[in-house]
Amino acid sequence: MNNREEYGQHSAPHNSAGRGELRTRIVIVLTLSMMLVEVAAGLWFGSMALLADGIHMASHAVALGITAYAYWYSRRHAFDPRFAFGTGKVNALGGFTGAVLLAVFALMMALGSFERLIVPVDIAFNQAIAVAILGLFVNGASVLILGERGHDSHSHGHSVGHDHNLRAAYLHVLADAVTSLAAIFALLTAKYFGWLWMDPLMGIAGALLVGRWSFGLMRSSAEVLLDRQAGEQVWTEAYDALSATPGVQVEELRVWYIGPGVCAVAAHVSDGNLVGPSRIAAGLDPDEFPYVVVHPLSGE
């Protein structure tokens, strides 16, 4: 006959906003400012290139707005008892949504480039180059402000533990910066060497790159949303901490991410010395593993 006992270790609800939210808001202001300048200049000077790029910036402002909303929602409901494991997964949901939008933008970029490749159009090189340089400057500044390199949280080198919401914002501005750089190269070669095909070709290459980024982010954020088991390094850390108590053998262990760099743990253990679940779970870092449930099983 087995004696079953449960222990739950809970720290304060996880709130993943912080610096990521502030940086995202700054980038939104930059993006909206750039959008207004380009739309106003396009209408004033009758430039379709400026007007089109302004509308493009508006679409990215919407995507960044979703990122900011996810941060706000997560922060506002961080201590809401209705959310059993906190609101950390809102971060992954925002990242997944941003990845889907990024894939849509990549598809639109590819379709437009193919159309230009088949039916070339006249290009106002000087205006287009000026817009691309200005866009590169603004998006380059946005990339530096976000400063996202996949390690905004303690993720032990595993992409599932990243701040997916911040990464979505980062990839949006990075995609714009890369496409601006490619556009400058393509426009210069078209202007001075007559290679008009280079502009749509760079557009297709940029779309493929952005599409690859978006699907990578979709995959990693979906793993969090679907409670996939944490990576081997994190799982081993939890296993070793639980097994460190004398007489304890971990029979079954589940570790999954509930936010950037934080995990929930559920374990079935054999407690030969009857030390109790509180001592078994004491070796786990409460900042990294804020939600722990231990089920000790002892035989008679």
- Domain limits, the chain: 2-11+230-299, 18-225
Q: What was the pLDDT predicted at 159?
A: 52
The answer to whether 63 and 98 have CB atoms below 8 angstroms apart is: yes
Pick 18-225's CATH classification: 3.30.1650.10, 1.20.1510.10, 1.10.3720.10, 3.40.1230.10.
1.20.1510.10
The answer to whether 202 and 132 have CB atoms below 8 angstroms apart is: no
Confidence of residue 46 (pLDDT cuts 50, 70, 90): low
The pLDDT of residue 11 is above 90? no
pLDDT > 90: what percent of the chain? 8
CATH number 3.30.70 given to 2-11+230-299: yes
Q: Is the dihedral of CA 134, 138, 144, 148 positive or negative?
A: negative
User: What crossing angle do the helices spanning 89-118 and 48-76 adopt, rounded to 10°?
Assistant: 170
Q: What was the pLDDT predicted at 5?
A: 42
Which residue in the block uniquely carries the two structure tokens 């919407």? Answer: 62
